[in-house]
Amino acid sequence: MITVRGKTIEPLFTAEQIAERNEALAAQIAAGPSEDLLVISVLKGSFIFAADLIRALHHAGLAPEVEFITLSSYGTGTVSKGVRIIRDIDSDVKGRNVLLIDDILESGRTLLFAKELMYERGAANVSLAVLLDKRVKRQEVLEADYVGFECPDYFVVGYGMDVAYAFRELPFVGVVTGDA
């Protein structure tokens, strides 16, 4: 347990566990449709996971191009409603193998939107890599191709994930358990 910003945070997945999973995921990704791969990091939450995963992809022998898309679920608080593009990619995805990277697959709305968008734009293949799969919250029929960890139904922070912009810097994934 650690204290940050007056809150107690219980680690759920450690930095070491995450690093080990990233190397394993990269090996799986390299064995899938990965020729001339275009990786798209779904911001903001995936920025740390994507940064580590693309370096693991290098270890796995891949040389991907890397892009960013900023998506936002509108609606209030922690409930996702619609999805909107805040900042789009610049690349042409036509005929490309695309890997979308996100922090967490929950309702599935964000990644279903992004996956359909890339197919509409003519991508040859779109795969999904997520650090965490919170499948009890799924609202759409969608599975990730590459999953770091199954996630229990807690609101998690750290390793890029925030609550009200805080806690993204934590090197592990944790749960806010209370006031210190």
Q: Give the residues lining the site for ligand IMP (CB under 6 A).
A: 45, 73, 80, 102-110, 155-156, 161
Q: How far is the CB of 24 from ligand IMP (least distance, A)?
A: 21
User: SS in 3 state form for 55-94?
Assistant: HHHHHCCCCCEEEEEEEEECCCCCCCCCEEEEECCCCCCC
Q: How far is the CB of 38 from ligand IMP (least distance, A)?
A: 19
The site partner of 64 among ligand IMP, Mg ion, none (C-beta below 5 to 8 Å per kind) is none
Q: How many angstroms separate the CA atoms of 161 and 176, rounded?
A: 12
Q: How far is the CB of 51 from ligand IMP (least distance, A)?
A: 16
The site partner of 156 among ligand IMP, Mg ion, none (C-beta below 5 to 8 Å per kind) is ligand IMP
Q: Between residues 62 and 117, which has the closer beta carbon with respect to Mg ion?
A: 117
**DSSP E strands: which ranges in the chain?**
2-4, 7-13, 38-43, 65-73, 83-87, 97-105, 125-133, 146-150, 156-157, 173-179
Q: How far is the CB of 95 from ligand IMP (least distance, A)?
A: 27
Q: Between residues 88 and 155, which has the closer beta carbon with respect to ligand IMP?
A: 155
| 158 near Mg ion, judged by CB under 5 A | no
Q: Between residues 2 and 166, which has the closer beta carbon with respect to Mg ion?
A: 166
Among 34, 38, 45, 123, binds Mg ion (CB under 5 A): 45
Q: How far is the CB of 42 from Mg ion (least distance, A)?
A: 6
Q: How many angstroms separate the CA atoms of 142 and 107, rounded?
A: 9
Residue 166 · residue 5 · CB < 8 Å: yes
